[in-house]
Amino acid sequence: AIQKDKLSITIDEYLSIFMFIIVRSKIGDLEAHLHLVESFVDEFSLYQSREGQIFLTVQQATHFLRELDEERL
């Protein structure tokens, strides 16, 4: 059985999972979709809700992937 109290991941692992999902999903114009969602969401929902935290994580992962330089890998 899985012991939930011992199940944890670091923020780096969490972000890596999101980057993997973004790359594999091949969503066209993801940044445009994120911008559209951001324009309709109030600040409280964006910064205080679980969904908002996930949204910001996707946004950060997308930004990181956009700025990724193959030569630095």
Q: How far apart are CA 33 and CA 19, in angstroms?
A: 16
Q: Is 3 helix (H, G, I), strand (E, B) or coil?
A: coil
pTM of the model: 0.75
pLDDT of residue 12: 87
State how far Cα 2 lies from the chain centre.
26
Q: Amino acid identity, residue 40?
A: F
Q: How far apart are CA 58 and CA 47, in angstroms?
A: 13
- 4-14 tens-digit pLDDT: 777 788 888 88
pLDDT of residue 4: 77
Question: Per the structure block, which two tokens stand in for 64?
Answer: 């990181």
- 18-58 tens-digit pLDDT: 999 999 998 889 999 999 998 988 888 888 888 888 999 99
